[in-house]
Amino acid sequence: MPTTLDGQLVVAISSRALFDFEAENQVFEQGDDRAYMQLQLERLQQPARPGVAFSLVQKLMRFNHSGQPRVEVVILSRNDPVSGMRVFRSAQHYGLPIERGVFTRGEPPWRYLRPLRANLFLSTHLSDVRAALEAGVPAAQVYPQSVHASDAHPNQVRIAFDGDAVLFSDEAERVYQAQGLSAFQQHEASKAGLPLPGGPFKPLLEALHRLQSAGTAQMRIRTALVTARSAPAHERAIRTLMNWNIEVDEALFLGGLPKGEFLREFEPDFFFDDQTGHIEHAARHVPSGHVASGISNAVPGPGPHSPKS
């Protein structure tokens, strides 16, 4: 029988999202890929330090400890194959049983997401993230300067999501940006019983729900909806999740308050939001990634600093 990843949660991740290659990347950004390759080869025996998404990957892979494969992590990187050796050795050093990798030496690697049937793609390259989202794969641009996850919850994978343009479509966000907060609140109150269309990260939330249902006694998933929605717009968000038959463990309706300090208290292994202003603030407190989707990422202007979503 041929090898298959069917039924597994597949996470594709770039080398810079998993490990701290920022010093080496400075050499690459100077346009000398040969010098970069040589530097990585010289450091082959030196494990790279954990990167922003390391905790998320490490914990997700613990779902495989019962002997049944439930999570597959694949390196999907613009690195060259030579530098890829250091990536695999670093993973081995930390006990991460990562077996698969795609190294494209500067070419966009996102096109391999479809044959991998990836449920999530994490990369530091915004263009690759945008292409992945357009292809229907949940994807986020990892902010390398993000604070790393705490080790306070070793037996829980904690993930926080924004609502509009992330878990949900940007339907309501478009109303907000076109007509303002009052019209948004009225729109959402009048449609409280009508589920929102799914956003780019609905498939990931569904996959996490399946993983949780088939999970182990040793590892659990805890999710949070962290949104600047407030009453009465809260009801449509909750009813939408109920319609999907998906539960989140925590819901924070912050009414425009900055999210960072609330996220610090939740202590997620990762937070996803479509607003760059929210991500920049959140990154001071928790590992964060920008979901470049929806109206706020389609046009320039004040959208990334919108107080609503």
The string of DSSP codes covering 237-285 is HHHHHHHTT---SEEEE-TT--SHHHHHHH--SEEEES-HHHHHHHTTT
- pLDDT exceeds 80 at position 201: yes
Averaged over 213-219, what is the pLDDT?
78
- Whether 9-142 shares its CATH topology with 156-305 is answered yes
CB 224 within 8 A of CB 286: no
Q: Sign of the CA dihedral 268, 270, 275, 280?
A: positive
pLDDT (0 to 100) of residue 17: 96
- pLDDT bucket at 300, cuts 50 / 70 / 90: low
Averaged over 24-31, what is the pLDDT?
78
Query: Within 10 Å of residue 150's Cβ, how many Cβ atoms?
Result: 14
Active-site positions read: 162
- pLDDT exceeds 90 at position 227: yes
pLDDT tens track for 97-138 = 999 999 999 899 999 999 999 999 999 999 999 999 999 999
Report in angstroms the alpha-carbon separations of 298 from 63, 125, 230, 281, 302: 37, 17, 25, 21, 12
Spatial separation of the C-alpha atoms in residues 237 and 263, rounded to whole Å: 19
Question: What are the domain boundaries of the chain?
Answer: 9-142, 156-305
Report the CATH architecture of 9-142.
3-Layer(aba) Sandwich (3.40)
If you ran DSSP here, which 8-state letter would residue 142 be given?
A: E
Which of 9-23, 118-132, 202-216 comes out lowest in average pLDDT?
A: 202-216
Quickly name the fold that domain 156-305 has.
Answer: Rossmann fold (3.40.50)
- pLDDT exceeds 90 at position 155: yes
DSSP states along 174-222: HHHHHH-HHHHHHHHHHTTTSPPPB-TTHHHHHHHHHHHHT--SS-EEE
pLDDT tens track for 47-88 = 999 999 999 999 999 999 767 889 999 999 998 898 899 999
